[in-house]
Copies of this chain bind each other. A is one copy, B any other.
């Protein structure tokens, strides 16, 4: 493996991290990202697109180098006895590199959110106020061992005018270093700052904590990872962050559901890709249709372990009895909790108690029931007669997504380019002073 460019060295200046403590070094990387963000904030769309396309081309051209670094990461993971699932996420091949490049080109083709005027008005004193969309500045991403996140996140940040400040996991560090180095070289080749993408190479836990505390430089932190990473953010971060959290998603089959449609939706929501956050985890069924519906559903869900409350279990031979934990578990697997409810109120209460605020679906023909469900269920997305699997940036038409927010501040639901921006008020007057 040959790394020809140190990703944190700016070729134009030869500047490297300041000497000193780990904390000082990470702060210095943050400072450099902030400086780059000032240039990016006003970079023309065409130049940002050129940088994305140059990055795509260079990634493809240097596929062998990426794969060599990745093979070393995979070999290290295998020697450490890491699970096959994790190694599958880590492993790249020429197709996956090509797909990373295609992702960058796709982002280049999306509209630039920066500069959009959201609204504007004139005050009685003549002040003209506009609210315009501007980049956040420095977007920090902390992620686990999928090396494609390095280019995906960097591409979305770049297009939205933000510097990407990245901290991947130790397991993918060799891959990440090479990918970041390629992106930096490509970005610099079109005249934008190489520091538009900065990867923290220190993979210690202490460095991760320090990374979460760069309040002087980081405008937004987005974690891409599991519960232990989220816990660490809650406990340690002082920078503003958006949590991409769990999806404990429900499908509620109402008394007035089209049962064939309900079967198709629960099968899709549970089985089309069970390992993702918008897959369904609990099926709620109105008591009046349970007897008709559950045997149909069970047949269509063959191969899925059903974990049922006593009423449902009576209609589902072979079901596992549900305990309290079943209702709050995100199985991410071919397992589905099933509960019979007395009606809409109980369904809504159950979702309020156990749901994670991600995606909740109802199947019904009743307008009044659909309206109550959409109004009263508190989640990022509420679906009527459609699979929860549609709740993502691509399916919503955002073109790409950096994550799915399950918090309510700033962004809720799928986050595309628009969610990587903030607003600025511009106030124009002709000498107004306040009386």
Contact = CB atoms under 8 A, between A and B. Distances in A.
A427 B64 CA distance: 43
A96 interface: no
A265 B431 contact: yes
A397 B121 contact: yes
A249 to B, nearest CB: 13
How many copies of this kind of chain does the complex include? 2
Contact of A376 (B42, B121, B268): B42
Given A242-B409, A264-B433, A427 B386 contact: yes
A129 B99 CA distance: 28
A38 B378 contact: yes
A426 interface: yes
A384 B431 contact: no
A375 B408 contact: no
A329 interface: no
A396 B423 CA distance: 15
A390 B123 CA distance: 11
A424 B379 contact: yes
A429 B374 CA distance: 13
A195 to B, nearest CB: 15
A238 interface: yes
Given A390-B434, A424-B381, A410 B412 contact: no
B385 A431 contact: yes
Contacts of A136: 408-409
Contacts of A110: none
A31 B240 CA distance: 25
Nearest to A372: B42
A377 B136 CA distance: 13
Size category of the A interface is 35 or more
Interface in A401-435: 407-410, 412-414, 422-434
B434 A387 contact: yes
A352 B34 CA distance: 10
Given A382-B427, A386-B427, A433-B272, A412 B422 contact: yes
A385 B430 contact: yes
Contacts of A258: 431
A127 interface: yes
Contact of A432 (B386, B413, B429, B430): B386
A395 interface: yes
B264 A395 contact: no
A383 interface: yes
A203 interface: no
A376 B409 contact: no
A41 interface: yes
B409 A422 contact: yes
Contact of A433 (B38, B268, B374): B268
A264 B429 CA distance: 13
A385 B433 contact: no
A220 interface: yes
Given A387-B433, A433-B272, A215 B240 contact: no
Nearest to A272: B434
Nearest to A219: B408
Nearest to A427: B383
A184 interface: no
B238 A407 contact: no
A1 interface: no
A423 B432 contact: no
24 contacts: A38-B376, A42-B376, A127-B395, A136-B408, A136-B409, A220-B409, A240-B408, A242-B409, A265-B431, A265-B433, A268-B434, A370-B428, A382-B426, A384-B428, A384-B429, A385-B428, A386-B431, A387-B434, A389-B433, A390-B434, A391-B427, A409-B409, A410-B410, A412-B424
Given A220-B409, A412-B425, 8 more contacts: A38-B352, A41-B378, A136-B409, A137-B408, A220-B408, A258-B431, A387-B433, A390-B432
